Amino acid sequence: MHYGDDRPEALPHNPFKAIITPRPIGWIGTLDPGGLTNLAPYSFFNAIGSDPDMVMFSSEGAKHSATYAREQGEFTFSLATEALKDEMNISSTPQPSGVSEFELAQVEQGQPVVIRTPFVAASPAALECVTLEVRQLSDRHGTLLDRFMVIGEVVQTHIRDEFIKDGRFDTVGARPIARMGYRDYSTVTASWELGRPKA
């Protein structure tokens, strides 16, 4: 099977998100103009560079997170884990301005060091980020879309001590969750090393 813009009837649901998987979840914290906290998960999220460390998340629509990250010039990332899946899911519900998803999901706010925006204190790892760019995306025809990509530089990294083992972050021990297609999620429960071949 192959197709272009017209998806066949055999695929009633777009499999794109199920193919590009697993996708790390960007659990993004921001502040509104009045200083109220905002928290929401984004499955279009990833690291995009190191030295300096940089991340991005993409918002389908000008949602609070992208808007506040642009207006306030900062945001936080908290690692979503199996232990925090319910809180993450609660924070995904659309809320009007003036409602703090930190409070709605009953998660404690971690105190930032460099910026003002808090993160999820119970998360094994979190990043404080300064917004570098917010770009409205366009399609191949040049038509602007209601999609916004936010790029940030990491200015402070937080790791809970119990997740540092032998000088490394214990990813498997943290049991991060990832987004798959449809309503599916996965949990990181195993890892292996693979050396790069010599030229």
Q: Could you tell me if 71 and 33 are in contact, meaning their C-beta atoms sit under 8 angstroms apart?
A: yes
- Residue 4 covered by a domain: no
Please state, for a pLDDT cut of 90, what percent of the chain lies above it: 90
* Averaged pLDDT, 170-184: 97
Please give the average per-residue pLDDT across 111-130, as a whole number: 99
Calpha distance 189→169 (Å, rounded): 14
Tell me, yes or no, whether 11 lies in a domain: no
pLDDT of 8 over the 90 cut: no
Q: Give the pLDDT confidence score for residue 62 in this predicted structure.
A: 86
* Among candidate residues 21, 6, 53, the one with its CA nearest the CA of residue 183: 21
Average pLDDT over residues 27-51: 97
pLDDT for res 115 = 99
pLDDT over threshold 90, residue 27: yes
Amino acid at 122: A
Can you tell me whether residue 46 is helix, strand or coil? strand
In a domain, 3, yes or no: no
In the predicted model, what is the mean pLDDT of the chain? 96
Residue 47 lies in a domain: yes
Q: In 104-184, where do the E strands start and end?
A: 109-110, 119-120, 125-138, 144-159, 164-165, 168-169, 177-179
In eight-state DSSP terms, residue 112 is P
pLDDT reported for residue 59: 96
How confident is the model over 119-131, as a mean pLDDT? 99
Q: Is pLDDT at 93 greater than 90 in this prediction?
A: yes
Total number of domains constituting the chain: 1
The pLDDT, as a whole number, for residue 114 is: 99
Whether residue 150 is contained in a domain is answered as yes
**Is 89's pLDDT higher than 90?**
yes
Mean pLDDT computed over 28-50: 97
Measured distance CA(77)–CA(51) in Å, rounded = 18
Q: Give tens-digit pLDDT for 68-85.
A: 999 999 999 999 999 999
Closest CA to 156 of 78, 101, 87: 78
User: Helix or strand or coil: residue 111?
Assistant: coil
pLDDT in tens, 146-169: 999 999 999 999 999 999 999 999
Q: pTM (2 decimals)?
A: 0.94
- pLDDT at residue 29 in the model: 99
CA distances 182 to 13, 58, 61, 119, 187, Å, are 8, 18, 19, 27, 16
Please report, for residues 10, 24, 151, 160, the alpha-carbon distance to residue 47 in angstroms, rounded to integers and kept in the order given. 34, 9, 10, 20
Q: What's 143's domain CATH number?
A: 2.30.110.10
The answer to whether residue 194 sits within a structural domain is no
- In a domain? residue 14: no
What domain range includes position 74?
24-187
